[in-house]
Amino acid sequence: MTIDRNLDLFERAKRSIPGGVNSPVRAFRAVGGTPRFVQRAQGAYFWDANGQRYIDYIGSWGPMILGHGHPAVLEAVQKAALDGFSYGAPTEREVQLAEAIIAAVPSIEMLRLVSSGTEAAMSAIRLARGATGRPKIIKFEGCYHGHADALLVKAGSGLATFGYPTSAGVPPEVVQHTLVLPFNDVAALEAAFAEHGAQMAALMIEPIAGNMNFVRATVPFMRRCRELCSQHGALLVFDEVMTGFRVALGGAQSVYARHMPGFEPDMTVLGKVIGGGMPLAAFGGKRAVMEQLAPLGPVYQAGTLSGNPVATACGLATLQEISRPGYFDALGARTRSLISGLQGAAAQAGVPFCGDSEGGMFGFFLLPQLPPNYTDVMKTNGARFNALFHGLLRRGVYTAPALYEAGFVSSAHSADDIAATVQAAAEAMAGLPEA
């Protein structure tokens, strides 16, 4: 009888780590089954505890845009580690990384490096409140900005009422200033600003919402976000932890600027790709706002490992590789070929399917058309999604273990990997349970 080392490790892990994982989505609770414990990864692949190879469309939830173990990144990390792991003092490489990010994202004049997207988003909210002297913030249903208390909120009863905590341990008064609105709903947005505009510090949004799979903010909706923030003196904060340096070198904001010349958010939150797989994130924006941060200004923010010298080496080497001419054109074409291949397989199997992608980020739905908001995303038949997930997994294709998560293609994914994935999907779709 063959031993399943993933199962053994999962049972062992559950004895010392809550749920056996260090982040909930890894536990496969939404899709069922046993999480794959990764032994090693290289390029577009990882191998699990049983030695089974998978084509990896998660890539650490976005950071591994070059694929695992890119030689130039590996060399940079190995070299940096020899010079020391952490100093708690400034280094030249932090300045180089800040300059590289600022060069790629024109809306950012200054930034602060931190260690996670949660920390970056939390700090951006505090800074927005400190800079404006206002308490209230808007977020959108289906958008996730990390697990800071003020952002663990679900929509209130009425559209313009404040939210309720989504987690135990968050007292209602902590989220009393957080308004949760439906994504892509201009009327709800206008009502919220009409009622609370004078108190509004910030509107935080995932421009392409990867935490409800892949839902774009429409251009008219994004235009109103920008207009209403400007009109009421609130800061428009783009959470580009997932989309930054993933959908384009300039992030999703550069995609919107193509439709609205001159479009810029006031602040941007970054993570994932800028660390290249090491713990590193950032938040940045206009100088006048950023200079409100300690030690210059009254808004406190700090971190022992912020700007860590090994992480900045990893991030800088990653950004250098993805800044090469034509990198995103090629990555975008490869990702589109995956979506069109899956669409063809679904049509062949008579399965309702739609998908979308931008750069190296994609999403697909077992729905006839792209959903504009979280309510519609969740109309997906969960049993069918889970059957497809496991059908792909059994065939060595690792996609997101939840229907509200996005997928990621790296520049290490070959045309053959895409073809193998489409073939696996065609076989898996042929046997899906009825909707």
d(C-alpha 123, C-alpha 150), whole Å: 11
The single residue of 48, 185, 239, 376 carrying the catalytic annotation is 239
For residue 363 the two structure tokens come to 């999403």
The single residue of 45, 56, 136, 272 carrying the catalytic annotation is 272
Please identify, using beta-carbon distances, which residue of 242 and 424 lies nearer to ligand KE4.
242
Least Å distance, CB 64 to ligand KE4, is: 13
Please identify, using beta-carbon distances, which residue of 274 and 346 lies nearer to ligand KE4.
274
Least Å distance, CB 83 to ligand KE4, is: 25
Least Å distance, CB 194 to ligand KE4, is: 28
| Cβ contacts of 105 within 8 Å, gap of 6 or more | 244, 250, 251, 253, 254, 268, 284
Least Å distance, CB 426 to ligand KE4, is: 27
Please identify, using beta-carbon distances, which residue of 80 and 242 lies nearer to ligand KE4.
242
Least Å distance, CB 288 to ligand KE4, is: 24
Is residue 286 among the annotated active site residues?
Answer: no
Q: Which residues pair with 236 in a beta bridge?
A: 203
Is residue 149 among the annotated active site residues?
Answer: no
Is residue 239 among the annotated active site residues?
Answer: yes
Please identify, using beta-carbon distances, which residue of 221 and 346 lies nearer to ligand KE4.
221
Please identify, using beta-carbon distances, which residue of 214 and 353 lies nearer to ligand KE4.
214
Least Å distance, CB 29 to ligand KE4, is: 12
Applying CB under 6 A, which residues contact ligand KE4?
Answer: 23, 25, 61, 116-118, 121, 144-146, 206, 210-211, 239, 241-242, 271, 281, 405
Please identify, using beta-carbon distances, which residue of 170 and 424 lies nearer to ligand KE4.
170
> Which residue number has the CB closest to ligand KE4?
117
The single residue of 45, 54, 57, 144 carrying the catalytic annotation is 144
Nearest to 63 by CA among 292, 322, 298, 305: 322
Checking 95-101 for CB contacts under 8 A at 24+ apart, the result is: 96/312, 96/316, 97/274, 97/307, 97/312, 97/315, 97/316, 97/319, 98/282, 100/316, 100/319, 100/320, 100/323, 101/270, 101/274, 101/282, 101/284, 101/319
Please identify, using beta-carbon distances, which residue of 237 and 424 lies nearer to ligand KE4.
237
Positions marked catalytic: 144, 239, 272
